[in-house]
Structure 1
Amino acid sequence: MDDQVPGSPQEPRNVRGEDGLPGCYRHPGRRTGISCTRCERPICPECMVSASVGFQCPDCVRGGSGTGHAPQATVPRTIAGGTIAADPRLVTKILLGINAAVFIAVLATGASTSPLISHLDMLGRAFDPGSLQLVGVAEGEWYRLLTAVFLHQEIPHIAFNMLSLWWLGPPLEAALGRARFIALYLIAGLGGSALSYLLAAQNQPSLGASGAIFGLLGATAVLLRRMNYDMKPVLILLGLNLVFTFLWPHIAWQAHVGGLVVGAAVAFGMVHAPRDRRTLVQTGTCAVALLAIGAVVWVRTLQLLG
């Protein structure tokens, strides 16, 4: 009898975790409810390749499953239809770098007194003593909705957000693909800024990537649900973060909630889009989210200027 080679078609398929789900044949520690449509081996989101029917494992796509059949899927795809990249952390690293660069610039120009803070933070409408003018999103400075997402003032703040980004980002980037991941991050960040603009005091500034981070947290919950993974760890983490959001002083809870809702909605459209209309549904989901954000900003601007 031939020896059983881990990851081969002859590998036993009845090895299951406490949740009843088998482990991915390439990553045994990752429980999954999805199997390759050709060799039937369990595969996790990172190993999934979209095919004409269902998903295939990388070995079958390359024609290396030992079945002798030609691969049916010529281009490896993620669960959301993105191209599988050699480095599934590239966009995450770039986002980390941008946040770090802006933070260093803030420290180099005066830290809490840096002019970057007053020019880039999320501010609805306020009087600027320096310019003797009204400034803020209501005054046409819409860029603040996005620049505030990359702006941090204190070390604990950026440390928490960047650790969260490094933990949540790579799995989502691998599952969604680079373009969809960056779209998710930016739209969730804008969603957090928009809700802050709508509900917070008009002269209350806010800054930080927390809205985008909460968007990634919501997207992680959606992805795990889509893959039939155990939801308890992410739900516990989400609950703790929400408790922290509402009980800790000086936290812009509006940005957290806005990012969470928008991130979860965008991720749902991405991972549940029908394969034959995937691009249309995903693009439409992002467009609807942006239109909703624009509507919130428009309504609040009319309120402040009315």
Structure 2
Amino acid sequence: MDTDRLPGCYRHPERDTGIRCVRCDRPICPECMISASVGFQCPECVREGSGTGRRPAPHAPRTLAGGAVAADPRLVTKILIGINVALFLVAQAVPGLPVRLELLGRYVEYYGAPLEGVSTGEYHRLLTSVFLHTEWWHLIGNMIGLWVLGGPLEAALGRGRYLAVYLLSGLGGSALVYLLTAPNTATLGASGAIFGLLGATAVLARRMRYEMRPVIIMVALMLALTFVRIGGMSVSWQAHVGGLVTGALVTLGLLARGSGRKRVLVQWGSCVAVFLLAVLLIAVRTADLAALG
């Protein structure tokens, strides 16, 4: 008998879940959970109404990944959207700011200007570029994707784990761009992180035993669009693929079965392992560019 197995949803027993109704404490899957003022409730408790038959939950409600259930399951998503929008407006108001924040390996301007880029120690570009957009349509498209994919993931994983998926996906996408593109290739945008959320959604759907065909079709369509030129601009397939793979790997670790400290160790250990893999790719590319002089 697998003692580490999560309980099944009381309405969908085949779906493992770490979320419980705050009123009756029955396990509920994301399809059945209904947002309440605090945590989530099952459909039956919602129908009964808040004034009758309330029973205190013996356990604090937890997300599927074991994190605490937040009153606002989209708070981190809203903050991330706010940061992206704010940086877009600042970039429009401050000429030259995108040049200092966008991702590139190494760039030399004419007339003896100094080197710029990650290979010269400007490692902040690996993450600042993930929050930077220069076109309004680019920003809107990514923010719609962040809202649609991010909300359900944040509710299922919890705030801290969800933020880890987003940031590591963005870093993974940047690392692959840095590794595989010319050192003076300028890249920016949140699409690497968004594709990470797409990879995380695929892993979550598989774990919850949802119908996978719609998810597979969505992933295939998004990857196909990666190789289409939009408005004369090419899309960075390296950022998309790197983010997709990173998001899937991180979520696999976060949804590891188990309980207590052992599960937490596996979850955050997997995040550290993915981070170190990205650092390794960055170090390899930096050494390669240094050898080229």
Cα distance in 2 between the residues matched to 1:273 and 1:128: 52
Specify which of 159, 164, 171 is matched with residue 145 of structure 2.
164
CA deviation after TM superposition for structure 1 residue 274, in Å: 1.9
CA deviation after TM superposition for structure 1 residue 24, in Å: 8.1
Asked if the contact 2:20/2:41 (under 8 Å) is kept, the reply is no
Instruction: Let me know the Cα RMSD of the aligned residues.
Output: 3.1
Name the counterpart of 1:259: 243
Asked if the contact 1:126/1:135 (under 8 Å) is kept, the reply is yes
CA deviation after TM superposition for structure 1 residue 236, in Å: 1.1
Name the counterpart of 1:296: 281
Cα distance in 1 between the residues matched to 2:56 and 2:140: 48
**Structure 2 unmatched runs, 5+:** 1-8, 34-39
What letter matches 2:201 in structure 1?
T
CA deviation after TM superposition for structure 1 residue 33, in Å: 2.8
What letter matches 2:15 in structure 1?
G
Cα distance in 2 between the residues matched to 1:31 and 1:129: 65
Name the counterpart of 2:206: 225
**TM-score when scaled to structure 2?**
0.82
CA deviation after TM superposition for structure 1 residue 44, in Å: 1.7
Name the counterpart of 2:122: 141
CA deviation after TM superposition for structure 1 residue 235, in Å: 1.3
Cα distance in 2 between the residues matched to 1:122 and 1:151: 10
Structure 1, 160-169 or 265-274: larger mean CA deviation: 265-274
**Structure 1 unmatched runs, 5+:** 1-22, 49-56
4+ residue runs over 4 A deviation: 34-42, 66-72
Cα distance in 1 between the residues matched to 2:13 and 2:177: 38
Q: Does 1:237 align with 2:211?
A: no
- Mapping 1:5-20, distance limit 5 Å: none
| 1:231-251 alpha-carbon deviations (Å, 9 max, x no partner) | 122211111110010233511
CA change 1:128–1:275 in 2 (3 A) is farther
Name the counterpart of 1:3: none
Cα distance in 1 between the residues matched to 2:71 and 2:264: 22
Q: Does 1:45 align with 2:30?
A: yes
Q: Does 1:118 align with 2:99?
A: yes
Q: Does 1:247 align with 2:228?
A: yes
CA change 1:274–1:41 in 2 (3 A) is closer
SS in 2 for 1:45: coil
Query: Whose Rg is larger?
Result: 1
CA deviation after TM superposition for structure 1 residue 115, in Å: 1.1
Could you tell me the percent identity over the aligned residues? 51
CA change 1:140–1:272 in 2 (3 A) is same
**TM-score when scaled to structure 1?**
0.78
